[in-house]
Amino acid sequence: MNMQTTTWVEVGTLSDIPRQGARCVKNGEMTIAIFRTTQDDVFALEDKCPHKNGPLSQGIVHDGCVTCPLHNWVISLSTGTAQGADEGETRTFPVKLDGETVLLGL
């Protein structure tokens, strides 16, 4: 059996991230993008578009999705899946708020 344990790591405060924007968390070799929506919800995706590894953290955030800055793929913030006709999936991470503190689940 494969035991799954989530460690919650403090990565900053909500106000560090602009609304409709993202900030990156570097974890070793991997970069994780933490997104903040207009409604102050937070989401975490690996900072890699399933298409050509574009940095999703640099895209435009709208209606629960981010548009990749390289070739305009639209990726769902909550599921990591490509929208529309494109097919692909980006890894998601659990993320939550404790008051203003942003906690990333690894």
Partner 1 sequence: MTKRKLVIVGNGMAPGRMLEHLFEATDQYDVTIFNAEPRVNYDRIMLSPVLSGEKTYADIIIHGEGWYAEHGITLHQGDKITEIRRHERKVISEKGVVAEYDKLVIATGSNPFIIPVPGSDLPGVLAYRDLDDTDGMIAASEAGGRAVVIGGGLLGLEAAAGLKMRGMDVTVIHLMPTLMERQLDSSAGYLLQKELESRGIDVRCEANTKQSLGSDKVEGVELADGTVIDASLVVMAVGIRPNVALAQEAGLEVNRGIVTDATMKTSDPNIYSVGECVEVGGMVYGLVAPLYRMAKVAAEHLAGPSDAAFAHAETPTKLKVTGCDLYSVGDFAEGEGREDIVLRDAQRGTYKRVILKNNKLIGAVLYGDVADGAWYNQMLVSGEDVSEMRDTLIFGQAYQGGGSVDPLAAVAALPDDAEICGCNGITKGMIVTAITGKGLTSLAEVRAHTKASASCGTCTGLVEGIMGITLGDDFVIPAAQGMCGCTTHSHGFVRRMIKAKELKSIPAVMQELEWTTAEGCAKCRPALNYYLVADWPGEYVDDQQSRFINERVHANIQKDGTYSVVPRMFGGMTTPDELRAIADVADKYNIPSVKVTGGQRIDLLGVKKEDLLPVWADLNAAGMISGAAYSKGLRTVKTCVGTDWCRFGTQDSTGLGIKLEKALWGSWAPAKLKLAVTGCPRNCAEATCKDIGIICVDSGYEIVYGGAAGLHIQGTTMLGKVATEEEVMETVCALTQYYRETGFYLERIYKWAERLGYDHIKEVIYENLDERKAFAERFAYSQKFAQVDPWAERVAGAEAHEFSPMATLNMEAAE
Instruction: Identify the residue among 45, 75, 76, 90 touching partner 1 (CB under 8 A).
Output: 76
Check residue 103 for interaction with partner 1 (CB under 8 A). no
Q: Please report, to the nearest 10 degrees, the dihedral formed by the alpha carbons of residues 35, 37, 12, 34 taken in order.
A: -10
Per-position b or e across 36-54, b if 16+ CB within 10 A of its CB: bbeeeebbbbbbbbbbeeb
Closest separation in Å from C-beta 106 to partner 1: 5
Q: Is 6 in the site for partner 1 (CB under 8 A)?
A: yes
Q: Which of 45, 75, 77, 82: binder of partner 1 (CB under 8 A)?
A: 77
Contact status, residue 40 vs residue 70, Cβ threshold 8 Å: no
Cα separation, 44 vs 25, in Å, equals 10
Residues that bind partner 1 (CB under 8 A): 2, 4-7, 9-12, 16-21, 23-28, 30-31, 34, 37-41, 52-55, 58-64, 67, 69-70, 72, 74, 76-79, 93, 102, 106
